[in-house]
Amino acid sequence: MADLLRLLLQVAEKAANVARVCRQEATLFQLLVQEKTGDDKNKKFVQDFKTLADVVIQEMIRHDVGAQFPEMLDFIQGEESNKFENGLGESVTVTVCSTEEQTAALLATVLDGNHAAASLLARTIHQNPATIDTSTDGLTVPLSPSELGIWIDPIDATSQYIEGREEVLEDSHLCPSGLHCALVLIGVYLRSTGKPVMGVINQPFNYRDPAGRGWRGKHFWGVSCGEVNICSLNQSKFGSEKGRGLSVVLSSSEKQVVKDTLTSLCGPEKVMFASGAGYKILCVIQGLADVYVLSEGSTFKWDSCAPHALLRALGGGVVDLTKSLQSSSVAQDQTELTYHQPDTECKGADRWANHGGLVAYRDCSQLQTIMKALKGKL
Ligand code: 2IP
Ligand code: CA
Ligand code: CA
């Protein structure tokens, strides 16, 4: 299934192009924001925004993956629904059509007849992205499409994407907020066990092109199944950092008791804060933080699936915090998050929430240290 990986990298790059186009066109961007309603409301934000960019990206990924792997079509899910309401209160179902012109015509109905904006979007959707260096040659993945499902978060950290603050990223430094926290996340899991096996992360706003041609992105990928454990980031750079003291990344809205406990464990300078659930897990993947702890059920399957696969490829993982605290004796593998089963007691998006909170880690012994410190505190 190396061809699936290559396809996901390609379509994630196209997604990043859509995200960039939407930000670069100021008038287009104004048109794009719309408030969420009903069951799909993310309880975390008073005002959560659903952008057309999100919907378009998710549908484009579904379309492109479904075209090459029809067996997967019914198992491609994401954060968004493809129903969109335009300024006239009409409901439009957003789909990717077979030609650019048809897609543009459909999008124009969502964009209240703004044909210029619709054409721009349609062109990006139907354009092949620049070939990206995937270095996946020779990779064989022992999986077949009929055993796989996909979770898409078309844009994670939407609030940062909408706010659009530009920060200059420094190597080996975590940057708490800004456009670079916005990520395209595509995760692949096994339908039978729910284990994440492949992940692609695209960071559309990684740096500004020095030649003035706008934003450039960066991509990351990983595969973890059976004997195959491979990640686009190599592990070697983590080794030398051992012994420098444990560091954690948290949401700024994390519970005070968690902040306090981890501050006494790690020291104040080793407790960092950042936006975006995906970005925080990416910080752990990149070695910018050792562990990400979240005590609330405020993330969803589409937030964690892709980065979870990369962490597994690196020998780490993402566990359910509540389950892990309850069961120190249970094999740790049994507390890893899974992606195949909804919580049938909940409705809407909540069916797919990571209710028990989570801990993302690269190193099992660091996970143990964190769990020991949090035991009895929550
Ligand atoms: C959000 C986003 C938020 C995160 C929240 C996610 O996804 O990643 O930043 O909160 O958990 O569900 P926090 O930044 O406090 O960790 P989206 O932006 O896709 O709604
Ligand atoms: Ca998200
Ligand atoms: Ca999102």
Task: Delimit the domains of the chain by residue range.
Answer: 236-374
Q: Which residues of the chain have pLDDT under 70?
A: 26-51, 86-87, 133-134, 235-243, 328-331
54 labelled catalytic: yes
**Does the CB atom of residue 281 touch ligand 1 within 6 A?**
no
Question: SS3 sequence, the chain?
Answer: CHHHHHHHHHHHHHHHHHHHHHHHCHHHHHHHEEECCHHHCCCCCCCCEEEHHHHHHHHHHHHHHHHHCHHHHHHEEECCCCEEECCCCCEEECCCCCCHHHHHHHHHHHCCCCHHHHHHHHHHHHCCCCCCCCCCCCCCCCCCHHHEEEEEEEEECHHHHHHCCCCCCCCCCCCCCCHHHCEEEEEEEECCCCCEEEEEEEEEEEEECCCCCCEEEEEEEEEEECCEEEECCCCHHHHCCCCCCCCEEECCCCCHHHHHHHHHHHCHHHEEECCCHHHHHHHHHHCCCCEEEECCCCCEHHHHHHHHHHHHHCCCEEEEHHHHHHCCCCCHHHHECCCCCCCCCCCHHHHHECCCCEEEECCHHHHHHHHHHHCCCC
Predicted pLDDT at 150: 98
Predicted pLDDT at 169: 85
Confirm whether residue 303 is marked as ligand binding. yes
**Does the CB atom of residue 296 touch ligand 1 within 6 A?**
no
Confirm whether residue 13 is marked as ligand binding. no
Predicted pLDDT at 28: 66
Nearest bound ligand to the CA of residue 275: 1
Predicted pLDDT at 84: 74
User: Which atom from ligand 1 is nearest to the alpha carbon of 274?
Assistant: 14
Mean pLDDT, the chain, whole residue set? 88
**Does the CB atom of residue 277 touch ligand 1 within 6 A?**
yes
User: Which atom from ligand 1 is nearest to the alpha carbon of 155?
Assistant: 19
170 labelled catalytic: no
Q: Which of 155, 201, 281, 370 is catalytic?
A: 155
pTM (two decimals): 0.93
153 labelled catalytic: yes
Confirm whether residue 171 is marked as ligand binding. no
Predicted pLDDT at 106: 92
Closest residue by CA, ligand 1 atom 8: 276
Predicted pLDDT at 244: 73
User: Which atom from ligand 1 is nearest to the alpha carbon of 79?
Assistant: 19
Distance from the CA of 180 to the center of ligand 2, in angstroms?
Answer: 14
Helix (H) or strand (E) holding 325: helix 321-326
Helix (H) or strand (E) holding 329: none
79 labelled catalytic: yes
**Does the CB atom of residue 153 touch ligand 1 within 6 A?**
yes
343 labelled catalytic: no
| Residues 163-214: tens digit of each pLDDT | 888 988 888 789 999 999 999 999 999 999 999 999 999 999 999 988 888 8
Q: What ipTM is given for this predicted complex?
A: 0.94
Predicted pLDDT at 212: 84
Confirm whether residue 79 is marked as ligand binding. yes
Predicted pLDDT at 236: 55
Q: Which of 156, 290, 296, 336 is catalytic?
A: 156
259's tokens:
């902040």
The distance in angstroms from the start CA to the end CA of the chain is 41
350 labelled catalytic: no
Predicted pLDDT at 33: 52
Q: Tell me which architecture the domain covering 236-374 has in CATH.
A: 3-Layer(aba) Sandwich (3.40)
Q: Which of 153, 254, 296, 336 is catalytic?
A: 153
Please name which of 79, 37, 77, 25 lies closest in space to residue 54, comparing C-alpha atoms: 79
Match 């051992």 to its residue by tokens. Answer: 242
Residue 355 near residue 297 (C-beta atoms within 8 A): yes
303 labelled catalytic: yes
CA torsion sign for 254, 308, 154, 213 is positive
Q: Which of 158, 261, 299, 335 is catalytic?
A: 158
Predicted pLDDT at 329: 59
